[in-house]
Structure 1
Amino acid sequence: MALTKDEFFQTWLQAGESQEPHIIETAWKRYQTTQEPTYTTIHESNDPDAQTFKSNFQHFLQHPDVAGSIETTKFITRPANILPWTPTGLNLQPGEQVSTFASGRVWRSRVLDLFVPPQFALWFRVGVNGEVFNSTRDTNTFTVKSGEGGELYLANQFPAWWQEKSGRVVGDLAIYEKGGDGRLEVLVVVWKDGVDVASLLAGVDAGSELVETEVQRPQAEQATDFPEEWYYFWFLGKSTLYSSIEPSSGMNRKKCIHAKPDQSIGILMKDLESTPVFEKSVKVKWNWKIDALPSRLREDTTFSHDYLSVAFEFENGRDITYTWSWELPVDYGYWCPLPTWEAREYHVVIRSGTTGLGEWLHEERDLFADYEKYIGPKGGVPERITRVWLISNGVFQRLKGEMTVSGIEISGGGSGQGGVVEVL
């Protein structure tokens, strides 16, 4: 039975959530959406318990070809409120191949039906000082790098963020005990030397959707090619959200990068070899076509922060990201609401509503003037522009979003051909 508005407010209060009026009102709108007859979700009843999860792999693990190729296996249940990192007891050697299969979810808010899947939450590390990594799916197969090795560790990143590549977490670790809700079920398979894992998985009737997911994962990753000078922001990990596409009709005549968040998040970045001087009159330009916005709420809360944007990073580590909002007004600005990003990324709304969706549009901003207006001198004014980002997030509300970008340029700053840096 649906909650009344008063009942919802009490539930929100008991959960220890923010009591700021705009946040409560946005949460109430989200809750109302979940009660509409057309609303669809993936119910938690679909997540198998530990015993069912194991039984789902029984046929796969007992298949003669699979059983004869396995060195060892381990099933792990990982509650969401456990701090990173969980040791698996599996000591891996360089060159060993490992496959992982995961189910479950980590909740942001049950009353708002907001959760993240293993693809976003589950991370890995080989050895105490190994670099963290994730997968583009709820499954993965990886080879332990030469010169590395050690025990395999698992972690739930969400709701915190990585501070460094060894897996140190930023911020107050009490956030896990306070807000960690949900669990992940994980199967780890260590293969014998010489096994062609991809061919093996593709050749067996596994009777498991997760095995089929792992069969399809490499193909999806290979299909998402984009210019080689662009790369994923490491602590959000890999995804298959971005790809290069051919120039289309309209104002665009240059190569394009296409972004389509599918219940996930990814940031694509490019370092500027010739870093423009950040001075008065520096302008940024780009063309974009946004076919769908991944939010139906104002995006300045931690549970509705789904958006598409083009961002410019400075040498002080801050960036301004230009967004198209569902309901926030043009020229509205705000610091990112997510933990550890609140003093790093500033959002500036340059379009609002649905007018213009599906059309190629040209944007031009005075970057220096925007920095002065929205960020100001706090922490000092940077001297250089160092990177450009494309941001695509649909992990929270799980709605469709789609963006194509081209023609990114930075003019002024005393560098580039004729004072223009062509980014894309």
Structure 2
Amino acid sequence: MGRIVVIALLLALSGTAAAMTVGRFSAGDLSGWEEQTFSGKRKTVYSLVKDGERTVLKAESRGSASGLIRTMSFDPKTQPWLRWSWKVAGTLTKGNEGVKEGDDYAARVYVIFPGTFFWQTRAINYIWANRLPKGASIPNAFAPKNVMMVAVESGAAGAGRWLSEERNVYEDYVRLFGEEPPRAEGVALMTDSDNTGGEAAAWYGDIVLAEK
């Protein structure tokens, strides 16, 4: 019995080590997250709130653009799975993924891959798209060479409901950029409506990285 208990404990510890917590909003914990603001832009308001029985992160944007970033290093080849849940009040009627004037999203979660020089920084933006069909991807209107937008959800049909998502970051990077990814150095989230002048509200659940 003792040996079985030890083996079970080791397996449990192994499973725990395989997952990395990015955001523990359900515990009321924002430690490690820093606000990312943009010169001349109003700030989106982020706050921990109760939604039913659980604590989540709420974002409210009124013609604003700012995000939260968690600086952390991980290898997307060994921890490829990014999992999270989110909910939006609705999409932006003037939002259009293909033009700068429409580059606003009710919700997005993205992974950052710094290069040797700042202009080599790449990112995958997992977005709740306004018009881009679910599953489609497109270069970002402001940074077409370095930032790719992936429509994890699209349109207002799912608005008002919590949806759980998972993406294989390693496979997405290879598909989108055509090469092996470097180490990722951060995960961020943002709700913005500055380019369209609209309003958006979103709720984010816990975010984790896992090997499978």
2:103 is aligned to 305
Q: Does 1:267 align with 2:67?
A: yes
Match of 2:171, as an amino acid?
Answer: A
CA distance in 2, matches of 1:309, 1:297: 13
Q: Is the 8 A contact 1:311 1:319 kept in 2?
A: yes
1:239: how far off?
4.7
Is this contact kept in 1: 2:170–2:181, CA < 8 A? no
Tell me how far apart the structure 1 counterparts of residues 80 and 40 of structure 2 sit (CA, whole Å).
31
How far did 1:242 drift?
2.9
Equivalences for 1:54-203 in 2 at 5 Å?
Answer: none
Per the alignment, do residues 364 and 266 of structure 1 end up closer, same or farther by CA in structure 2, a change over 3 Å counting?
A: same
CA distance in 2, matches of 1:236, 1:362: 33
Letter in 1 for 2:129: S
Q: 1:20-419 counterparts in 2 under 5 A?
A: 227-236=30-39, 239-249=42-52, 253=54, 255-272=55-72, 275-279=73-77, 282-307=80-105, 308-316=107-115, 317-338=121-142, 341-377=143-179, 381-412=180-211
Give the Cα separation in 2 of the matches to 1:284 and 1:319: 14
Change in Cα spacing, 1:385 to 1:401, as seen in structure 2 (3 Å) is same
Write out per-residue CA displacement over residues 236-294 of structure 1, whole angstroms, 9 at most, x where no aligned residue: 577542322234237xx4x422111111111211111xx22121661100010111223
Q: Is the 8 A contact 1:232 1:268 kept in 2?
A: yes
Which TM-score applies when normalising by structure 1?
0.39
Offset from partner CA, 1:372-394 (integer Å, 9 cap, x none): 112212xxx33312111112221
Q: Secondary structure at the match of 1:260?
A: strand
- Distance in 1, Cα, partners of 2:147 & 2:201: 22
Is the alpha carbon distance of 1:372 and 1:295 closer, same or farther for their aligned partners in structure 2, counting shifts above 3 Å? farther
SS in 2 for 1:303: helix
Per-residue displacement from partner, 1:136-169 (whole Å, max 9, x unpaired)?
xxxxxxxxxxxxxxxxxxxxxxxxxxxxxxxxxx
C-alpha distance in structure 2 between counterparts of 1:237 and 1:228, whole Å: 26
Structure 2 unaligned segments of length 5 or more: list them.
1-28, 116-120
Cα contact 1:280–1:369 (8 A) shared by 2: no
- Asked if the contact 2:37/2:43 (under 8 Å) is kept, the reply is no
Higher relative contact order (CA 8 A, sep 6+): 2
Residue identity in the other structure for 1:289: K
Change (3 A) 1:245 1:293: same
Structure 2 CA distance for aligned equivalents of residues 345 and 391 of structure 1: 15
Question: Normalising to structure 2: TM-score of the pair?
Answer: 0.75
Is the alpha carbon distance of 1:239 and 1:303 closer, same or farther for their aligned partners in structure 2, counting shifts above 3 Å? Answer: closer
Structure 2 vs 1, CA of residues 271 and 406 (structure 1 numbering), >3 Å: closer, same or farther?
same
- Name the structure with the higher strand share: 2
Deviation track 1:70-116 (CA, whole Å, cap 9, x = no partner) reads xxxxxxxxxxxxxxxxxxxxxxxxxxxxxxxxxxxxxxxxxxxxxxx
Give the Å deviation of 1:314.
1.8
Question: Partners of 2:210 and 2:204 in 1: how far apart?
Answer: 18
Aligned residues: 179
Distance 1:396 1:238 in 2: 10
Structure 2 distance, partners of 1:283, 1:242, is 28
SS of residue in 2 equivalent to 1:261? strand
